[in-house]
């Protein structure tokens, strides 16, 4: 099996069209991604927000493009699969946080736009809890 390094994956991802990035920013705002993926006093989209659920306390994930602790090595396919199937790239479950019911209805085009936008935000090295 061929494994790609994070640098190889990042090099293969082409730069997104500014209009696609703008659409992704609009959709990320409309979907209120920042509300869950930014802890109080935390850095934007770096996760770490505690959420009490019947399953226990969950901590939201870092969705910045940091390659070690965020989604910096994810492909647009992996991002789409997480949105729709609630799976991390390694196959682990994001449940019960994802797939969030309304986000599983996001089209591939819109998911790719959100992904393109998130690739432009400041990377934050912050481990997920």
Query: Which CATH number characterizes residue 72's domain?
Result: 1.10.760
Residue 5 lies in a domain: no
Q: Spell out the alpha helix ranges (H) of 31-94.
A: 33-37, 76-85
Query: Is 46 a domain residue?
Result: yes
Is residue 79 included in any domain, yes or no?
yes
DSSP 38: B
Give the pLDDT score at 11.
44
Q: Which two tokens stand for residue 108?
A: 């591939």
Counting the structural domains of the chain, the total is 1
Range of the domain at 76: 17-118
50: Cβ contacts below 8 Å, ≥ 6 apart: 39, 57, 58, 59
Is 12 a domain residue? no
Q: Which residue has the tokens 């946080």?
A: 97
Tell me if 125 is assigned to some domain. no
CB 123 within 8 A of CB 72: yes
The DSSP result for 81-103, as a single string, is HHHHH-B-TTS-B-TTSSS-TTG
Whether the model clears a pTM of 0.95, i.e. scores above it, the answer is no
Q: What is the mean pLDDT, run by run of 10 residues, along the chain of 129 residues? A: 47 75 97 93 95 89 96 97 91 80 90 98 92
At 126 the pLDDT is: 93
Please report whether residue 83 resides in a domain.
yes
Contact status, residue 59 vs residue 48, Cβ threshold 8 Å: yes
Hey, CA dihedral for 2, 94, 46, 32, is it positive or negative? positive
Structural domain contains residue 80:
yes
Q: Is residue 128 a part of any domain in this protein?
A: no
């Amino acid at each position: 099996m061929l494994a790609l390094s994070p640098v190889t994956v990042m090099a293969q991802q082409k730069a997104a069209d500014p209009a696609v990035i703008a659409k992704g920013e609009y959709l990320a705002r409309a979907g209120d991604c920042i509300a869950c993926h930014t802890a109080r006093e935390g850095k934007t989209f770096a996760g770490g927000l505690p959420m009490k659920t019947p399953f226990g306390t969950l901590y939201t994930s870092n969705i910045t493009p940091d390659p070690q602790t965020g989604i910096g090595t994810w492909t647009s396919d992996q991002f789409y699969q997480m949105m729709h199937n609630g799976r991390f790239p390694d196959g682990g479950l994001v449940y019960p946080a994802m797939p969030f019911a309304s986000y599983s209805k996001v089209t591939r085009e819109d998911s790719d736009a959100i992904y393109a936008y998130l690739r432009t935000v400041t990377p934050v090295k912050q481990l997920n809890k």
